[in-house]
């Protein structure tokens, strides 16, 4: 999906229009794996970063592990987006609305909902505190017949022929089935392995390692790849794989 949306204004606009239920969103810039530098703190590498004609920034993160979609992480992502959005000489009133969207493999907020909109409110009177900050969680578990449900289906669909959205199927087919596309995907697999290795190093408990291995297998990784990066035994990984395919 990083490749599908990289520098692709049209498909990124489709993604945002479905999630935000706003057909008027006009994307003027879209990149993937964009690195945001923070001279005083933690840097970020964003899955998808888009901008519309009004200067609004949209950061979409695709998270297979629930720990990667923590509430404070969403807050931090939004804070760096804001820091990019107000050049010197501009007033606070000119700070645009900004959005952080987490598409999660599991229902992280455990409400059984397809979408969760997090916006600030005044506790004493329950009125909106309209500061222009928006955090949205999308639950990939729900793949119903709504536009969003179909989009979530396509995000985890391995066969382009089974996708609902022809725009996504066409691009996915290019990277999966053409020689040039497969060659272009080589660097993705290398980055994916490095990212997974880092996540594995942070998985200090057996339970975390098991969840990590499940994520790899669900992503279509081989038994050998999963054993190497999860640090579980081959027998343990094969048992997990058999349960997932049951």
Asked if 103 and 171 sit in the same domain, the reply is yes
Task: Assess whether pLDDT exceeds 90 at residue 122.
Answer: yes
- The tally of domains found in the chain comes to 2
pLDDT tier, 50 (very low <50, low <70, confident <90, very high otherwise): very high
Mean pLDDT of 111-128: 96
**Does 85 fall in a domain?**
yes
Separation of alpha carbons 227 and 170, rounded Å: 33
Separation of alpha carbons 135 and 129, rounded Å: 14
**Does 73 fall in a domain?**
yes
**Does 129 fall in a domain?**
yes
Quote the pTM value.
0.75
Asked if 168 and 217 sit in the same domain, the reply is no
Res 245: pLDDT: 77
Asked if 7 and 113 sit in the same domain, the reply is yes
Asked if 52 and 88 sit in the same domain, the reply is yes
Task: Assess whether pLDDT exceeds 60 at residue 203.
Answer: no
Res 200: pLDDT: 65
**Does 225 fall in a domain?**
yes
Task: Assess whether pLDDT exceeds 60 at residue 84.
Answer: yes
Q: Are 148 and 114 in contact (CB under 8 A)?
A: yes
* Share above pLDDT 70 across residues of the chain, in percent, rounded to a whole number: 95
Mean pLDDT of 174-182: 81
Asked if 46 and 98 sit in the same domain, the reply is yes
Mean pLDDT of 187-213: 73
**Does 207 fall in a domain?**
yes
Asked if 9 and 38 sit in the same domain, the reply is yes
Asked if 164 and 230 sit in the same domain, the reply is no
Owning domain of residue 141: 2-180
């Amino acid at each position: 999906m990083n490749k599908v949306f990289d520098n692709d204004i049209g498909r990124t606009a489709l993604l945002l229009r479905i999630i935000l239920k706003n057909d008027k969103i006009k994307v003027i810039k879209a990149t993937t794996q964009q690195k945001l530098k923070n001279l005083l703190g933690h840097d970020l590498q964003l899955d998808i970063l888009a901008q519309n004609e009004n200067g609004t920034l949209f950061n979409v993160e695709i998270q297979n592990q629930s720990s990667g979609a923590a509430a404070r992480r969403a807050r931090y992502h939004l804070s760096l987006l804001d820091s990019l959005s107000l050049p010197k000489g501009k007033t606070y009133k000119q700070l645009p609305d900004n959005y952080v969207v987490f598409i999660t493999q599991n229902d992280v907020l455990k409400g059984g909902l397809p979408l969760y909109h997090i916006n600030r409110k005044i506790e004493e009177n329950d009125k909106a505190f309209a500061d222009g900050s928006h955090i949205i969680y999308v639950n990939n578990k729900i793949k119903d017949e709504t536009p969003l449900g179909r989009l979530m289906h396509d995000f985890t669909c391995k066969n382009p022929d089974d996708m609902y959205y022809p725009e996504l199927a066409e691009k996915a087919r290019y990277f999966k089935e053409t020689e040039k596309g497969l060659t272009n995907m080589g660097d993705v697999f290398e980055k994916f392995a490095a990212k997974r290795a880092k996540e594995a190093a942070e998985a200090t408990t057996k339970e975390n390692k098991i969840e990590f291995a499940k994520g790899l297998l669900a992503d279509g990784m081989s038994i050998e790849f999963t054993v190497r990066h999860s640090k579980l035994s081959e027998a343990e990984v094969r048992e997990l794989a058999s349960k997932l395919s049951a």
